[in-house]
Structure 1
Amino acid sequence: MIKWRDEDAEGRNKLTDYVMSKHAVIALVRSASQQLGQHGIRVNSVSPFGVATPSTCAMLGKEEEEVEKEYEGWTPLKGIVLKVKHVADAVLFLVSDESGFISGHDMVIDGGFLA
């Protein structure tokens, strides 16, 4: 089983810099959406769960299928593993006219992990 960190109730133990930067990005998105909205500019972000990208696989020293199999057990949404295409589809939605009134939003793509 992949174990990157020990989890605690308020965030991630031993990864203060990582957690802080994630929260900073969300705050930036919200603030920028307020400032830029008056110019018709929408600002959103995407926060995916773990994806078995080449860099993730290299970092973990595992093949894509191994990483996906382990990630699959972490989310309550069974029968599907997050793929790069899922993240790309979310980004495409956020930049499309279909999301024309969405701004200041962080789209979490995690199969219910944080729920």
Structure 2
Amino acid sequence: MAAAAAVRLGGHPRGGAVRFETSLSRILFFVYTGLDFYVVGHFFGRAALGLYKAAADLALDPARIISTVVVSVAFPAFSRARERPRCWRSNSEVVAAQLHRRRRVPGDRGAGGA
């Protein structure tokens, strides 16, 4: 049934439907993420839209900056970890052991217990 739908849309049975769905999802995402700006501009005017856009940018800038830094640091770190799984495993085991030692359970006489 999906192949028939892809053919009806004029695309290749394997690639046509995917391209159409991707295009449709991008259009829907664009409408979803920009709809508030259209509503504010239509109902409240250009001046209110300008203030709304400035406030939205000001509110979202910290998240954009932090995500850029996290991505630029995390990607190389995970790449190195993939190349050296033994080193990654040993580091994670050290962290787990340190966390276990810091956790104090009443009545536990083991590592770090009272």
Pairwise TM-score range, normalised by the shorter structure: under 0.3
Q: Give the number of the structure whose alpha-carbon radius of gyration is greater.
A: 2
Larger helix fraction of residues: 2
Name the TM-score, length of structure 2 as normaliser: 0.25
Structure with larger RCO (C-alpha < 8 A, sep 6+): 1
Name the TM-score, length of structure 1 as normaliser: 0.25
